[in-house]
Structure formats: C-alpha cells, structure tokens
Structure 1
Amino acid sequence: MAQKKNEFWEWTKALIIAVILAAVIRYFLFAPIVVDGLSMMPTLHDQDRMIVNKLGYKIGEPERFDIVVFHAPENKDYIKRVIGLPGDKLEYRNDTLYINGKAYEEPYLEEYKKQVIDGPLTDPFTLEEKIGRETVPEGHIFVMGDNRRYSKDSRHIGTVPLGEVLGKTSLIYWPIEDIRLVE
C-alpha cells in the first residue's frame, strides 16, 4: 500500500512539473500562432502554423525585415514584417523602399512584383503622409505585410510600440509539407 501511495505521489509530482514547464515555455519563451489571412503572401499562407520566439526581444530589439507578431489595436494579434526602426525616415516610390534616403531591395516581394500588371505592388507614400511624422518614433516600429495591396499594417494602424511586440517568428511547422524557416 505504501509503495502504491509513493508511486502515485511520484506520478503526481511529475505531472505538476510537466504542466509548470509547459506553461513557462508557452507564456515566456515560445508560443504557437496561426496565420489568419493573406496579408503576408507569398511568404506565409493562410492557416500556416508558426512558432513565436518570445525570448529574443526580451534581450534584444527587432531588426529590419524580421517577421514579428504583435498586439494590434483591434484586440487581435497581427503578423507583419518590420520595415522601419526607431528614427528611420521611410518612403516608397517607383515600387522601391527608401530608408533614410537609401534604396533597399526586398527579395521576398520579387514573386509578387512580377505578377502585377496594373501599377506598383506598393503604392508610393512617405512616412509623414501615413503617420504625420518624418521618422519612426522612438520605441516604435513600422510594419508592413508582404501582400502590400491587401495588408492592414502601419500604413493604416500607425506605428507599433515595441511593448506590443510578442516576438519574432520564422519557423512554419504546419502543414507538414510546408515545414521551413522563412526570412
């Protein structure tokens, strides 16, 4: 009887430890997210399942072109690409991104740019036209979806406070045939 009680207690402790570990990993280190919509096509597809690395931005800052998950104003989590960092001056003209006056290539958009026949993929704009400021404010980032014509992003919702960023994502784990790292 004592042996059964001891075995039950050991199993109970193991289960409690497993639940606590799972909670710590889920809430502080990594979390799953499901891509909802087409705003990140062709990089990400609707219903792709990804892992969000929450730890990376606890010790560092987002980098240009990272794919991040953040709390959006509509009480929903969005997944978008970091285009502008604090202090950056942004402009789009002739379907080219200019950051602080320098043209940047966006290889992740090449597939869509080839398909567009009725104008630019990304409509021209300046940061001042979109957010009323010349530069991305300190403590904020400017994000855009890769599917520029069909993305609700910083052009519409404004810059994203760094405190609202959950983390970086780059691993698709489902569907199985699409398992890969994305840039």
Structure 2
Amino acid sequence: MKKKTFLKKFFEYGLLISVLLLISNLLMAFIFSSETIDGQSMEPNFTDGDMVLSLRISPIKRGDVIIFKAPKDPDKYYVKRVIGLPGDRVEAKQDRLYINGEIQKEKYLNDFQSEKHATDLTKDFTLQKLQHVNEVPAGEYFVLGDNRTISEDSRSYGFIKRSSIIGKVFTRFWPIGRFKLF
C-alpha cells in the first residue's frame, strides 16, 4: 500500500514540475527574455555581468533600455537606450542631446556626467552626418549606450529595426544587491 502511495505522489510531483517547467519555457519564449550585460557601454547604470529581464510585448518609448539583435551578428544581443523614435530628429551639440530641436534632460547620465571627463561624454553628431537622413525612419529606432565615450551604438551601426528588438528591460535581477525595477 505504501509503495502505491509513494509512486502516486512521485508521479504527481513529477507532473507538477513538468507543467511548471513548460509554463516557464513558454513565458521565456513569448513574454520574457533575459540577458547578461556584456561590457561597459551601459555604465554606470548597468555594469558588466548584470542580469536583466525584458518584456517582449511592451511598446517602446524614448529612454527605454532595450535588448536587440546585434546588427552585424544576429546571434548576439546588445543592450542600449532608445534615444530616437521614428520621425525624430536627433543631434548632439556641445555635449547636449537634442531631439526635434529640444534639449533633453538625461537623468540617467547625471552620475556619469558629474565625473570629470577629459572629453565630452557625447561627441557632436547629426543624423545627416551619420546616416544621410534628417529623421529616424519609420519602424526604426536610434539607440545609444549610456557610456557614450566607448559605446558602439547607432552612431556606428545605424538604426535598429523594430523587428530586431527582443524586448524592453524592466528589471535588473542580478546581482541581488543591485536589484531594480525600471
């Protein structure tokens, strides 16, 4: 009698674990995505080794941090901040970012900008000089790393297509001491 009860419980727990794993895999395939930050291009807000979760089905807004397929290697993923939306005019002058002619307050850069840099954090650019267009094209986005002096981003590889975006980062879950919701 005890053997049947044990086998029944074993089967029930095994089935429960299997269902939970299936649900977890479905959520990661269709709703969430996780990524480990690789490099220093998003410092000081994200550091090398930080682990983040993103929502695959979230609308993209200016200032969002996104995960997307690397333009030159679709098997790699990059994490950058959305600066320009479709139709936006983006430029930098004298270490200030302008969108549609208006200066942007980039609060996420405050700590970084307060440090002394030998050069400007954001070098001067216009979309015309970078991509030979005046506006971010429809269905595409202009992204920058927070550590602008070393980041490889839309200034070097161009606009990011919506279809290349995996998701919008909504939490940093590792390391635990730096847990944060965005």
| TM-score normalised over the length of structure 2 | 0.90
> Which among 53, 56, 78 is matched to residue 55 of structure 2?
53
1:149 aligns with 2:173: no
User: What letter corresponds to residue 163 of structure 1 in structure 2?
Assistant: S
1:69 aligns with 2:71: no
Contact 2:32 2:53 in 1 (8 A): yes
Once the 2 structures are TM-superposed, how far is the Cα of residue 14 of structure 1 from its aligned partner?
Answer: 1.8
1:114 aligns with 2:100: no
Question: Percent identity over the alignment?
Answer: 35
Supply the distance in 2 between the matched residues of 1:118 and 1:4 (Cα, whole angstroms): 69
Once the 2 structures are TM-superposed, how far is the Cα of residue 35 of structure 1 from its aligned partner?
Answer: 0.6
Where does the alignment leave 5 or more consecutive residues of structure 1 unmatched?
A: none
Per the alignment, residue 83 of structure 2 pairs with: 83
Contact 1:71 1:164 in 2 (8 A): yes
Supply the distance in 1 between the matched residues of 2:111 and 2:13 (Cα, whole angstroms): 53
Per the alignment, residue 125 of structure 1 pairs with: 125
Supply the distance in 2 between the matched residues of 1:79 and 1:55 (Cα, whole angstroms): 17
Supply the distance in 2 between the matched residues of 1:21 and 1:93 (Cα, whole angstroms): 49
Supply the distance in 1 between the matched residues of 2:18 and 2:94 (Cα, whole angstroms): 58
Per the alignment, residue 23 of structure 2 pairs with: 21
Contact 1:86 1:136 in 2 (8 A): yes
Once the 2 structures are TM-superposed, how far is the Cα of residue 4 of structure 1 from its aligned partner?
Answer: 5.4
| CA RMSD, 1 decimal | 1.7
Where does the alignment leave 5 or more consecutive residues of structure 2 unmatched?
A: none
Contact 1:67 1:82 in 2 (8 A): yes
Once the 2 structures are TM-superposed, how far is the Cα of residue 42 of structure 1 from its aligned partner?
Answer: 0.8
Number of equivalences:
178
| TM-score normalised over the length of structure 1 | 0.89
